[in-house]
Structure formats: C-alpha cells, structure tokens
Amino acid sequence: MCLAIPGKIIEITGEKAIADFQGIKKEINISLVKVALGDYVMVHAGFAIERLHTEDTRLNPPI
Amino acid sequence: MKTRYEKIIADIREKSRLISHPVTFMELCGTHSQTVAQYGIKNILPENIRLVTGPGCPVCVTDQRDIDSAIGLALQGIPLATYGDMLKIPGSSANLEKARTKGADITIVYDVTEALELKRQKPNLVFFGIGFETTAPMSAWAIKKGLTLYSAHKRFFPAMEALIKNKKLKIDGFIDPGHVSAITGTGIYEKLSVPQVIAGFEAMDVLKSISMLLDQIIRHERKVQNEYDRIVQKKGNAKAQRIIKEVFETADASWRGLGKIKCSGLKIRKKYKDQDAEYVYRTLLKKIRRKMTIKPTACKCDEILQGLREPQSCPLFSKTCSPESPHGPCMVSIEGTCNISYKYGKIR
C-alpha cells in the first residue's frame, strides 16, 4: 500500500498532471503538492504525495 | 575496492561488535518488509541484531468487522469499489471475492478518481477506504468531490504507541514508515522514547537506517532521525494534513491483531455525513452487524502482526494457508509478512 513510484512532471492542467515514469506517461493528481514542470514527485495511488528534494532521481541514498 | 554495499555491511558488523546484548529492531512498513526479504537483509545481519516485522500492512490490519460490514453492504445490492488487495482479505466467513461470486457488484480501482468516474454510472457506489496517512488524503479529496466512503482508515502512530506498551515485545528501535512520514512529518515520533529512523525503500536505505539505529544504541541516544530526507520533510505535507483534518476526525478503531487502539481511526466528520456510508446505511449496518460472529481459527496473524511470531511457526503456514488460498490477511497482501515469507522462503 505504501508503494510509491517516482515520476517527472511533464504537463500540468489544473489539479491534473502528466507524469513520466521512465517512459510510461500517466495522468496523476497533483492537488496535494505544490509542483512545477520538470519536478520529480513520488506518486502513490494516483496522487503525488511529495516532491523529490534531490537531483538524484535514481533514489539511491548516498553513503 | 569495496562496493558501497560491502562498506555498509562491514560498518553494521563493526558497530554490532560494540554492543554486547542482542537488539531487536522493528520495521513498520510493508514495503520495508518486502525490501528486507527481497534482498535477504535478515540473513546478512550479525547474530545479535534481529529484525522483526510490525503491523505496517494496512490491508492486513483491517478489522474483520469492517470486512464483514463491506461484504454485508455489497450483498444487499450496494455497489462497492476498493483497492485490489482487499478482495481476498478474509472476514469472519467470506471475503469480498466470494461475495462477488454471489452476485455482489465489487470493482477494483487503482485510485479514487476511478471510483469517482464509476459513481457517474452507479450513483449509490460506496468506496471502501483503507490505509494509513498515505491514502487518507486521497479519500478526503474524493469525499469533497462527492464520493461516498466507508472509512476503515487508520493513523499509524497510535499503533506504535500500543506496540511500545506491549510488555511481551521488547523493541530497541523502530524503522519508521517512509511515506506515512512524508505526510505526517517527523515531529509526531518524538513522543516515543526509543531510537527511530525514518527510512526509504531501497536496500541501501534500510541498511543505512540499521546502521543509524546502532549508532544511537551505542551512544545511548533515543531520537528520531530521518534517512529518507529526499522525500520526508520535517513538517510533512501540510496540504495533505489539512485535507485529512478537514474531512476526518479521530476515533477509536479496531486493528486486526492489535485490538482496539484509542484515537487510531479516521472517522468522517458530521459535515460530510451524507457521504459517510456509516451514516447513510446506519440501519442496514446495524442489521448486518447484529448477525456477525467471530469464527475461531488457528491462524496466527494476530501475533505475526505484532512481531511476536514468525510465519513459519504458524500451524497453517504453507500447509493449508498459501497466497492462492489464504486463511489470514498476512498471507493475502503482497506486503503481508506471511505472503513475503511464502514467496522468499525461510529467513533467519
């Protein structure tokens, strides 16, 4: 249930946006976050729940 | 040259040698449990570090009474929509899938916007809403857009408080859920005086959080650290928190395995009562619930959900209970402890 995937915002229309999930483009809802074109977001159950606060979209934490 | 994985494992081993007693950490999110099993993390940990799985699978902790109520409503001709995992979760005598074979109209949706679409064709549709703070804001948003909801939503933190109070369980540190924390922020966990690290879902995130917990134990610290800071912000997602608060209020709720936990449920506020299935179908639900009985079972999901038992020690595990024919919720969800153990085999 908590499985979320990162996607890049490529189009915004009001509460909706198109996110690019490594080539697969899907409509998502962005009403819970403040985002701009080009931002990466974590998407869970069709909604962006948070913006990625890093340039590193591979998501691997630094060590 | 050592890889970064070899480095972090060596780091964990080194730190574990500085601790003379055995320590138990609990990971609290079903997605963490998957990462732990998939990458064999339990097997590479030093002998004195034990990792147990907690009640972080929202599907698994949904109470039988809520499943029975949803089945009851569906069998009375009310169309239902819910997330896919819910279909096989056993109620007292059946599950939603079985209700479907008896003619109940139950649709699996990926998100609440699909449920809203469906409502156009089926005006009396009820969405069976489950999940923690990660799915509650979507349900709140949909209620504001006109969706009727049966709320089995829960708050995660009260369950952690209940686990800490359980004398049978000794937890030396928590790996806190990543995406629940993205919504709630980090402050809420500070009420608990136990080492905690909010972690992401890659193998490296989990290993790094174990290393951070060990640091706290060595230094006798009890604080909340955020390993998943590329997503989780200190204050969380304010917009999501606001919409949850606007639509829901806290209420006592029953958790499978953990029983009733004070203020752990999210009940729809009176302002939205006309979209609250609990209010709209109150007479029908009363009738359904009067007939409910709790069927005794040998299933040990209740102890497994609290980290008191490993799946392999349940008498039903892989004998009569499997993902194809699950007895308990932990075998149903892909984030359930039994389902994970069944898929990845025996883990230390």
Contacts of A63 in chain B (CB under 8 A): 4, 7-8, 204, 208
Asked if A49 contacts B134 with a C-beta cutoff of 8 angstroms, the reply is yes
Residue A59 domain-assigned (yes or no): no
SS3 A47: strand
Asked if the C-beta of A47 comes within 8 angstroms of chain B's C-beta atoms, the answer is: yes
Condensed to tens digits (0 to 9), the pLDDT of residues B101-152 reads 999 999 999 999 999 999 999 999 999 999 999 999 999 999 999 999 999 9
Type of residue found at B216: Q
Q: Domain tally for chain A?
A: 1
Q: What per-residue confidence (pLDDT) applies to A56?
A: 59
Of A54 and B43, which is predicted with more confidence?
B43
Q: What per-residue confidence (pLDDT) applies to A55?
A: 64
Q: What's A26's domain CATH number?
A: 2.30.30.140
Question: To which H or E segment does residue A49 belong?
Answer: strand A47-51
Q: What per-residue confidence (pLDDT) applies to B36?
A: 92
Q: Do B179 and A33 touch (CB under 8 A)?
A: no
Residue A16 domain-assigned (yes or no): yes
Asked if B206 contacts B41 with a C-beta cutoff of 8 angstroms, the reply is yes
Q: What is the mean pLDDT of chain A?
A: 86
pTM given for the model: 0.92
Identical fold for domains B4-57+159-226 and B64-155+238-290, yes or no, is yes
Q: Do A2 and B30 touch (CB under 8 A)?
A: yes
Q: What per-residue confidence (pLDDT) applies to B347?
A: 58
Condensed to tens digits (0 to 9), the pLDDT of residues B66-110 reads 999 999 999 999 999 999 889 988 888 889 999 999 999 999 999
Of B70 and B321, which is predicted with more confidence?
B70
Minimal Cβ distance to B237: which of A2, A32, A61 = A32
In chain B, the percentage of residues whose pLDDT exceeds 90 is 71
B46, with CB counted inside 10 A (0-12, 13-18, 19+), is middle
Minimal Cβ distance to A61: which of B29, B58, B227 = B227
Q: Do B200 and A61 touch (CB under 8 A)?
A: yes
Name B42's bridge partners: none
Q: What per-residue confidence (pLDDT) applies to A2?
A: 56
**Torsion sign across C-alpha atoms B241, B243, B248, B254:** negative
Which residue from A2, A46, A54, A8 is spatially nearest to A27, judged by alpha carbons? A46
Minimal Cβ distance to A49: which of B8, B110, B182 = B182
Asked if B56 contacts B205 with a C-beta cutoff of 8 angstroms, the reply is no
| Angle (CA) B341 B344 B348, round 5° | 65
Asked if the C-beta of A57 comes within 8 angstroms of chain B's C-beta atoms, the answer is: no
Q: What per-residue confidence (pLDDT) applies to B151?
A: 98
Q: Do B182 and A32 touch (CB under 8 A)?
A: no
| Residue in B231, B246, B247 to test binding to A, most A beta-carbons within 10 Å | B231
**Residue B245: CA atoms inside 13 Å, Cβ hemisphere, count?**
8
Rounded to an integer, the average pLDDT of B223-248 is 97
Asked if the C-beta of A13 comes within 8 angstroms of chain B's C-beta atoms, the answer is: no
Residue A61 domain-assigned (yes or no): no
User: Domain residues of chain B, as ranges?
Assistant: 4-57+159-226, 64-155+238-290, 301-342
Asked if the C-beta of A37 comes within 8 angstroms of chain B's C-beta atoms, the answer is: no
The answer, yes or no, to whether residue B326 has pLDDT greater than 90, is: no
Rounded to an integer, the average pLDDT of B241-248 is 98
Q: What per-residue confidence (pLDDT) applies to B169?
A: 85
Question: What residue in A sits closest to B230 (Cα-Cα)?
Answer: A53
Minimal Cβ distance to A32: which of B29, B113, B240 = B240
Minimal Cβ distance to B230: which of A2, A33, A52 = A52
Q: What per-residue confidence (pLDDT) applies to B291?
A: 85
- CATH T-level assignment (fold) for domain B4-57+159-226: Rossmann fold (3.40.50)
A8, with CB counted inside 10 A (0-12, 13-18, 19+), is middle
Q: What per-residue confidence (pLDDT) applies to A62?
A: 45
Q: What is the mean pLDDT of chain B?
A: 93
CA separation for the pair B173, B52 (Å, rounded) = 11
Of the pLDDT bands very low, low, confident and very high (cuts 50, 70, 90), residue B329 is: confident
- Residue B123 to residues B127, B268, B329, Cα–Cα distance (Å): 12, 19, 31
Q: What per-residue confidence (pLDDT) applies to A63?
A: 42
Lowest average pLDDT, out of B19-23, B31-35, B207-211, B261-265, goes to B31-35
Condensed to tens digits (0 to 9), the pLDDT of residues B171-182 reads 999 999 999 999
SS3 B105: coil
| Residue in B53, B127, B134 to test binding to A, most A beta-carbons within 10 Å | B134
Minimal Cβ distance to B134: which of A1, A33, A60 = A1
Range of the domain at A16: 5-51
Report the side by side order of strands in the sheet with B106-108.
Answer: B106-108, B80-82, B126-131, B148-153
Give the ipTM: 0.88
Of the pLDDT bands very low, low, confident and very high (cuts 50, 70, 90), residue B266 is: very high
Residue A26 domain-assigned (yes or no): yes
- B275 — phi, psi (to 5°)? -115, 10
Asked if the C-beta of A58 comes within 8 angstroms of chain B's C-beta atoms, the answer is: no
The answer, yes or no, to whether residue B288 has pLDDT greater than 70, is: yes
Which residue from B77, B134, B90, B89 is spatially nearest to B111, judged by alpha carbons? B134
CA separation for the pair B162, B140 (Å, rounded) = 26
Contacts of A50 in chain B (CB under 8 A): 182, 231-233, 237
Q: What per-residue confidence (pLDDT) applies to B55?
A: 85
Domain B64-155+238-290 has CATH 3.30.70.260: no
CA separation for the pair B174, B196 (Å, rounded) = 5
Report the side by side order of strands in the sheet with B23-27.
Answer: B49-53, B23-27, B173-176, B196-198, B224-226
